Amino acid sequence: NFKGRVAGFSVKTIDTTGAGDAFVGSLLVQLSKDFDNLVQ
């Protein structure tokens, strides 16, 4: 088992329209491939 952390970085935000939709969409695609990645 692996637990880790990836450091983030600052970016200049131009437009947040659809950002939540893109995040949730990509999350659901990954979970549909391997639901075991979900940690409670």
- For residues 36 and 22, the model is more confident at 22
- Placement of tokens 């637990």 in the chain: 3
Global confidence as pTM: 0.49
| pLDDT tens for each residue of 8-28 | 899 998 888 888 898 899 988
Residue 37 has pLDDT above 70, yes or no: no
Q: Give the number of residues written for the chain.
A: 40
- For residues 40 and 14, the model is more confident at 14
Residue 27: name the closest of 18, 37, 16 by CA: 37
pLDDT at 4: 86
